Amino acid sequence: MNQVISIHPVTRIEGHARIDIHLDESGQVCDARVGIAALRGFEQFVVGRPAEEIPRIVNRICGICPWMHHLAAVKAIDGCFGVRPAPAGHLLRELCQVLAHIHDKILHFFFLAAPDFVLGPGGDYAVRNIMGLVRQEPELAAQVVRMRQLAQMMLERFAGKAIHPVAGVAGGFAKPMREEERQGLLADSRVLLDFASYALDYAKNKVFSRFCDALQSLGTITTGFLGTVGHQGALRLYDGSLRLMHPDGTTVDFPANEYERYLAEQVEPWSSAKMVYARSWGEGFSLDPDAPRGVYRVNTLARINVCDRIATPRAQAELEEFRGRFGRPAQGTLLYHWARLIELVYACERTLELLADERITDPAVRVPATPRAGRGIGHVEAPRGTLIHDYSTDDNGCITRANLIVGTTHNIAPMNLSVRQAAASLISAGAVDDEMLNRIEMAVRAYDP
């Protein structure tokens, strides 16, 4: 008789999920699925609303990354109204986005992922959490809390809200930056960059070095990747072209407003969450573990793979070391954590670059925007991956249609493949223990769903 092993809930993720592992009569893994209870209601909630309200509504989709939804939406509304934001408004939007990346990456690595590595995947689950990390590494934990709070408070001091922001408006930004604000943010950003560099060195020397095999084996699958690149293929988080990389390493770049030519959405009967696949590969979609089709990944590892370079010095040096170790494209699922810390360094360096740009204090932060009929597609790189907001408006500037593809949506299909690979590599003849189950969870945590 077949057996189902359920992990419910999956712990230390930014949401709710379960894993069901199906064993055949001999106790071998025959299937594994990640169940995510996803409400696709926001696409209907916003229909009929004035477009200017949408960035203030959709930031409620996620309490962890509200800035990403806020800014992707406001970029889409720019498109609906046919406006290009003022240069200073553009810079201020990007500043807020990269600041939001900083505190999010600190949260995920240290609060959610690090207990598996620092305390060990086989440690007592009652202490394998952030409080266990506090007891074992009290000085590090205190510094982590201070740095995450600093990044959030920088957003709050300047933009008014760290959560549920309202500062992005059609045509630009709601308020200019004063010179004293810029100087204060510069000083704090230097502190964050020092911490980011320390965090990456700590992880490489004291964490990843103990899990060399797992980094390239646990939950590892072969897929393509999707991310955003700018000038000369440089890593970008706020704007740029989308780059889709095939598993063989070949790439194609396209603007976000052409996403439907390259990507398609799929609904499986066993999941309430949409899945997305690469339409342009012409392979269709399949989660057959022996021959998956159309599957690609997003998030930190994807962005590190698709970019040709990183345009900030410390992060570029780390990218070169990473590629020297793991190649391009790197496929190891746990390498998401390493890539996440490289991006943390980049986000800090990019913050300093933005604050050093004299245009950022220009008081002209917004251009006039008149509601009209149109279509706008806005995208940013959220911590969890490529985020696309697609809206259409009527003559009164009210929403008539909405489609959202959030970061985790891209990764649902590969998460299922990674969980099955991890389960099949660990479970044999029906023998299961707590460490095995936690290692399977680790394959999900790497994606930060």
Per residue in 237-249, pLDDT (tens digit) is: 999 999 999 999 9
Flag whether pLDDT at 39 surpasses 80. no
Q: Which residue, among 403, 408, 405, has the nearest Cα to 385 in the 3D structure?
A: 408
Share of the chain above pLDDT 70, in %: 99
Angle made by CA atoms 52, 54, 58, in degrees to the nearest 5 = 155
- Between 297 and 267, the more confident residue is 297
Q: Which residue, among 240, 218, 216, has the nearest Cα to 228 in the 3D structure?
A: 240
pLDDT reported for residue 41: 83
- Provide the residue type at 378 as one letter: G
**What pLDDT digit, counting tens, does each position of 192-234 carry?**
999 999 999 999 999 999 999 999 999 999 999 999 999 999 9
**If you average pLDDT over residues 386-411, what whole number do you get?**
97
pLDDT reported for residue 103: 96
The 399-405 sheet, strands edge to edge: 374-382, 385-393, 399-405
Which architecture characterizes domain 84-220+331-367 according to CATH? Orthogonal Bundle (1.10)
State the Cα–Cα distance between residues 127 and 205, nearest whole angstrom.
23
Q: Residue 123: pLDDT band by 50, 70, 90 thresholds?
A: confident
Global pTM? 0.97
Which DSSP symbol is given to 52?
A: G
Q: Residue 263: pLDDT band by 50, 70, 90 thresholds?
A: very high
10 Å Cβ neighbour count for 355?
22
Share of the chain above pLDDT 90, in %: 91
pLDDT reported for residue 63: 81
10 Å Cβ neighbour count for 250?
9
pLDDT reported for residue 419: 98
The number of angstroms, rounded, from the C-alpha of 112 to the middle of its chain's C-alpha atoms is 14
- Provide the residue type at 86 as one letter: A
Which DSSP symbol is given to 189?
A: H
Flag whether pLDDT at 61 surpasses 90. no
Flag whether pLDDT at 1 surpasses 70. no
Where residue 172 falls (left for φ over 0; alpha for ψ -120 to 50; beta otherwise) is left
Task: Name the β-bridge partners of 325.
Answer: none
